[in-house]
Amino acid sequence: MLSLLPLSTLLLVTQALASPLTGTESKPLPLLIWHGLGDNYAADGLHSVGDLANETNPGTYVYYIRLDEDAGSDRSATFLGNVTEQIAQVCNDIAEHDVLSQAPGLNALGFSQGGQFLRGLIERCGDRVNIKNLVTFGSQHNGIAKYQICKDGDWICKGYIGLLKANTWGAWVQGHLVPAQYFKTTNETTGEPTDEYLEASNFLADINNERKLKNVTYAKNLAALDNFVMYIFEDDTTVIPKESGWFAYTNITTEHVTPLRERDIYKEDWIGLKKLDEKGGLHFKTTEGGHMNLGDKVLKDVFKTYFSPAKASWNGVFESVQEIIEL
């Protein structure tokens, strides 16, 4: 026999469906964009991505993460700086921002190293910065095994890489040269990280919770995402290994790839990826071309699929209705 809801419950459901947060007039969440190595927050190419986000989801407030208001200094900070301190600065900037601090949530888009920096921001600053969806392109979530990250003709980058190769695990290099802080060495027989990496890594070993003492807050914060979408570039020869963008381990000698779901970081859920996966929020994507060879079609699909205000708001409505019915 069909059971009818009480009139009071029907009224609550009607109010939820009529909420101003629903429908086509919903305002999209602000979008954070963190650029990659050798780029700067004021670059035309980066702003064209923000323009496309606004074209796809009108009314999107775009914030281009920067470490200095001077574009040249911001570019220099992609090579030279302490990543731990940089993330703390970005956390404060967002938490104190007039618009971003008042938003009900944020979306985030990370290009290359900007992707793992945004992930680090979520893990370390989740109590102050409420990111709902994270999309990364060509990022180095499991680190890099080779310093092959400079564009042709970028002599500044090549100069820094020369310093990196000379003393990757030295205290000065780990505290000042950015790519060294997501460089990773492993035992190729066992796939386990080396002792020197675990002891000296300023950034990656910490946010991947690879040391014996685990930070449970990191796992809690990352698992709280609605979606974590990881794109790798099919023909990427800049990020070595490219599968790092999916948290996979690649043996550089044999080229054997161990997928994330077969690794301890997932099986023991060191950073919340398993929990996120179990609720359908972890996505592995591939796109054509070399590193950061990215077209509008792929970006538009990301903006429509993961950053759409209509999708976010309707999901919230149905959750509210379900809660009301269960009362």
End-to-end CA distance of the chain: 20
Q: Which residues of 175-196 are buried (b: 16+ CB within 10 A; e: fewer)?
A: ebbbbbbbbbbbeeeeeebeee
H-type helices in the chain, by residue range?
A: 7-17, 44-56, 71-76, 83-95, 113-125, 155-166, 171-176, 195-200, 204-207, 216-223, 264-267, 273-278, 296-306, 309-326
Q: Which of 291, 308, 313, 320 is catalytic?
A: 291
Q: Residue 296 catalytic?
A: no
**Coil vs helix vs strand at 324:** helix
DSSP result, 82-109? -HHHHHHHHHHHHHT-TTGGGSS-EEEE
Please tell me the distance from the alpha carbon of residue 97 to that of residue 122, in angstroms, as a whole number. Answer: 17
Quick check: 201 and 143 in contact, CB under 8 A?
A: no
- Crossing angle of helices 44-56 and 296-306, rounded to 10°: 50
Helix (H) or strand (E) holding 245: none
Q: Which of 112, 244, 308, 313 is catalytic?
A: 112
Q: Which of 236, 244, 308, 320 is catalytic?
A: 236
The position carrying tokens 């000296």 is 200
Q: Residue 236 catalytic?
A: yes
Q: Is the dihedral of CA 139, 144, 150, 152 positive or negative?
A: negative
Q: Residue 141 catalytic?
A: no
Quick check: 249 and 186 in contact, CB under 8 A?
A: yes
Please tell me the distance from the alpha carbon of residue 181 to that of residue 197, in angstroms, as a whole number. Answer: 10
Kindly list the catalytic residues. Answer: 112, 236, 291
